[in-house]
Structure formats: structure tokens, C-alpha cells
A and B are shown apart, each in its own frame.
Chain A
Amino acid sequence: MKELDDASLLRLIAQAQIDAFGELYDRYNRLVFSVAYAMLGDQSTAEEVTLDVFVHVWQRAKTYRPERAKVSTWLVAMTRNQAIDVLRWQKSRPDMASLGWDEATLKQKIDLHSTQEQVELSIQREKVREALARLPDNERQALAMAYFQDYSHTQIAEALKQPLGTIKTRIRTAMQKLRQMLEAD
């Protein structure tokens, strides 16, 4: 099971193969939980979102199309959508002081049994983290509030007590820089 790629696992999960499902969970539970926790700031809610995401995978594995997106991208999108729904329902945001980009160059362990996708994902994570680390603090902060907290421009400006135009510029500039860095070889 460990030697199978992600798409093959999804095909097996679509056939109700529980071992394949367990393997997929082993590969991506940390990614899904990390995104959920970064957005929600609450352990139990993040756990619940993680469970929901993987239950959805179990029930809808047959809808996954490898030509549309990587499995990791699909999982992250589901996680973010679920977490946004929770944030909007709760009408509250976790304390931003407790959240932030992971600026340290923590390297996810890659063991000898990692699949090609996991190796690529780990490399991509490092690339994104390094790119973010190169942004000024104020740009990185505004970006985090927009992406992880589902804040609008106006809400970010109010929270940070900054002019709206300043926030718009910070986010636009940050995204342009990231695009340049991430598209570079």
C-alpha cells in the first residue's frame, strides 16, 4: 500500500478499500490538521474539521480527478472551505498572536518510505515557506489574515488600524512577489 501513488489510493478508496484509506490518512493527516488548526486556532475544532475532510474523502473518492489537481491540493481546498464555513458560522476569529506563518525551515521528515508525491510536497512546502520568509513582516501578516482568517481588506485594515489603501497595497505586493519567487526555477 505504501508504494502506491495518491491517485491509486483514491481509486482503491472509491472501491471502499479501508487499508488504502488508512494509508491516505497517514500521508496527509498532518497537512490537513495543520491547515485547519492554522485557520481555527482551536484543537478540538481542527480535529473535527480533519475528521470531516477525511470522511468526505471516503464518501466522495470517486469524484476525485487527478487531471484537475494533486490530492494534496484537493485536500487542502476541502479543509480551507470547511474551516471558512466554521469561521463564518462562529463569526469569530482566533487570536492572531497565536498564529503565524511557520518561518522556521522545519523540514518535514522524509523517510525511506515516502512516495514521490510526499517528497515533492515537502520540497514545495519548503519553497513556499522560504518565499514567505523573504516578505516584510507587515506584508506577511496581512496575507495570513486574508488567507487563514478569511478577513476582507476592510477587516484587516480595521484590525491593524491601517488605511485601507495600505492593506490593499501590502497584499497585492506580497502576492506579486510570491508569484515571482514561486514561478522561478
Chain B
Amino acid sequence: MSTDAHVLESLSAYALGCLDESEDRMVSEHLAGCHICRMELQSFQSVADQLALAAPDAAPPPELKRQLLERVGSLRTVQPKPVRKPLFHFLSLKGALGLLLILALLVSNFLLWRQVNRMAAVLTGPQGMRAIALESSTLKPDASGFVIIGPDGRNGALVVDQLPVLDEERTYQLWLVSNEAITSAALFSVDEYGYRGVRIMAPESLFVYSEIRITIEPAGGSSTPTGEQVLAGSLFNH
């Protein structure tokens, strides 16, 4: 948590999403416990939401509508599980090309994804990277997720799927649990499919934590877990 009284000076940039990682994390943690800053953030978020309206006017080619209707028509006919380009939905992880490879392999390979879920296994990938499946709660049995941790424990990513879309008053919060403390590592929302990829930002190597939890918290997050737990898993035993 920030030791400053407030983080007002950083909120406009936070609304734009252009803070550097360490500052972004500091502001996120502060917002979890500061109603004043959350209210201030809302006003800047409203401004940020309107900026897209100033994009230079451009029009797609007329045939794009035909392509769209054909694509939608094929969905209506076959009714498959929605196909998406998983690569476009992942966050880039700086200096962690191996993590991207694991993510691409796991998500594009549906059978392997199912295997990870069923076995609740810790899979070891190339160069010592690990994939750990999370277990859903009885309240959200359809939800699934896994954690990817780099070989040195300094880089990690969380991928979740089929989590319920929350209203504006609530958010998902990721917690890292060690013997000494429970640390907030990320706040996130999910897309229409209940899917999200999130970079895990921890103050220490992820190897020091024994457990990961995801709970539902008020918008802006909480300083400690207060809400319903939806996913959890053991990381490493120490």
C-alpha cells in the first residue's frame, strides 16, 4: 500500500492506462482502500471513455458488412462454440517469450487445456516453466483458470475462463498467500466469455507464495479478501 495520503496526481494517467507497471500497481493497491481516490478516478475514467470519439473519421469498405454477415451466418448455421483468436486476447509478457509459448499452446490446444483442468496438475513446460490449474468453487463450478510461472518465479500470468461478468460495482481480485501475509496481485474484469489473461505482479518471487486465490471484491479492490472465492490453487509448498 502506498504511504502517501492519496494518489490523486496519478489518477488521470491510471484512467488512460499509461502508468508504468510499478506505479500502476501502487495506485491499484491504494484504490483498494481509498474511496476519495476511487471517486476521483471515476471522473477521469469518464473523460478517457470519451477520447475515442475524437478518432479521425474513417469508414470500412462496404464489402466488410457482407463479410460480417457471412461470418455470422456460418455461426448461426453450425452453432459452434465461439471461435476467437486466442493470440489477440493475451497480454504480452516482457522478456518472457517462453510464457507466451505456453499460453498459446495451452489455449489453442483444447484437449491439453481440459487435461490441466481435470488433473489439477502442475505441468512443467520448456525451460522449467510451470502451469498450475486452479480449482473452482462449488458456487462457480463452470469457472476455470490456470497460472503460468516462469522458471525464476519472477514472471507469472493468470488465465481465467467462464467467470461470470460482474457489474460495475464489483471486481475480481487476485491474492497471493504466504505464511506471513495475503498480498493483492491484480484486479481484473472478464470479457463477454468470462475470459481474461492477467499478468501477476508480486513484490517478491512467486516461489515464496503457497497459494493463489481469486475473490469477488468491491470495485477498486479490497485490502484483504472479503468476498466470495471463485478460484484457488496451491502453488508451492514451503
Q: List residues of chain A with CB under 8 Å of any chain B CB.
A: 16, 18, 21-22, 25-26, 29-31, 33-35, 37-38, 46-47, 50-52, 54-56, 58-60, 63, 65, 68, 73, 76-77, 79-82, 85-86, 88-89, 91, 99-102, 106, 108, 121, 124-125, 128-129, 132, 143, 146-148, 150-154, 156, 168, 171-172, 175-176, 178-179, 182-183
19 new A-B pairs (CB below 8 Å) besides A81-B191, A102-B57? Answer: A16-B76, A30-B60, A33-B58, A33-B59, A34-B56, A38-B55, A47-B61, A51-B64, A51-B67, A54-B68, A58-B72, A63-B165, A76-B53, A125-B53, A129-B54, A146-B13, A150-B17, A153-B19, A182-B46
Report yes or no: B85 in contact with A52, Cβ–Cβ below 8 A: yes
Report yes or no: B57 in contact with A179, Cβ–Cβ below 8 A: no
Determine the distance from Cα of A73 to Cα of B51 in the docked complex, in whole angstroms.
11
Report yes or no: A18 in contact with B72, Cβ–Cβ below 8 A: yes
Report yes or no: A154 in contact with B64, Cβ–Cβ below 8 A: no
Per the 8 Å Cβ criterion, residues 121-170 of B in contact with A are 165, 167-168
Cβ 8 A contact of B192, one of A51, A60, A106, A125: A60
Can you list the 10 inter-chain pairs with the closest CB atoms, starting with the nearest? Answer: A60-B192, A175-B12, A146-B18, A88-B92, A38-B55, A102-B56, A34-B55, A125-B53, A33-B60, A76-B52
Determine the distance from Cα of A183 to Cα of B50 in the docked complex, in whole angstroms.
12
**Across the interface, which residues of A come within 8 angstroms of B69, CB to CB?**
18, 22
Determine the distance from Cα of A50 to Cα of B61 in the docked complex, in whole angstroms.
11
- Tell me if B's interface is mostly helix, strand, loop or mixed: helix
Report yes or no: A21 in contact with B72, Cβ–Cβ below 8 A: yes
Q: Given contacts A50-B60, A102-B55, A153-B13, are A68 and B168 in contact (CB under 8 A)?
A: yes
Mark interface residues in B36-79 (1 if CB within 8 Å of A CB, else 0): 00000001101111111111111111001101110111011000
Interface centre among B18, B21, B72 (most CB of A within 10 A): B18
Determine the distance from Cα of A101 to Cα of B54 in the docked complex, in whole angstroms.
6
Cβ 8 A contact of A152, one of B20, B46, B165: B20
Q: List residues of chain B with CB under 8 Å of any chain A CB.
A: 9, 12-13, 15-21, 23, 43-44, 46-61, 64-65, 67-69, 71-73, 75-76, 82, 84-85, 87-92, 165, 167-168, 191-193
For residue A126, give the distance in angstroms from its CB to the closest CB of chain B: 9
Determine the distance from Cα of A80 to Cα of B9 in the docked complex, in whole angstroms.
24
Report yes or no: B18 in contact with A106, Cβ–Cβ below 8 A: no
Cβ 8 A contact of B20, one of A100, A143, A153: A153
Q: How many A-B residue pairs have CB under 8 A?
A: 169
Cβ 8 A contact of A56, one of B17, B18, B53, B192: B192
Report yes or no: A35 in contact with B52, Cβ–Cβ below 8 A: yes
Report yes or no: A30 in contact with B57, Cβ–Cβ below 8 A: yes
Determine the distance from Cα of A102 to Cα of B68 in the docked complex, in whole angstroms.
27
Cβ 8 A contact of B12, one of A58, A59, A76, A172: A172
Determine the distance from Cα of A16 to Cα of B75 in the docked complex, in whole angstroms.
11
Determine the distance from Cα of A33 to Cα of B57 in the docked complex, in whole angstroms.
9
**Can you report 21 A-B residue pairs in the complex whose CB atoms are below 8 A from each other?**
A21-B72, A25-B65, A30-B58, A33-B59, A52-B84, A55-B72, A88-B92, A102-B54, A102-B55, A102-B57, A124-B50, A124-B53, A128-B51, A146-B16, A147-B18, A153-B23, A156-B18, A168-B13, A171-B13, A172-B12, A175-B16
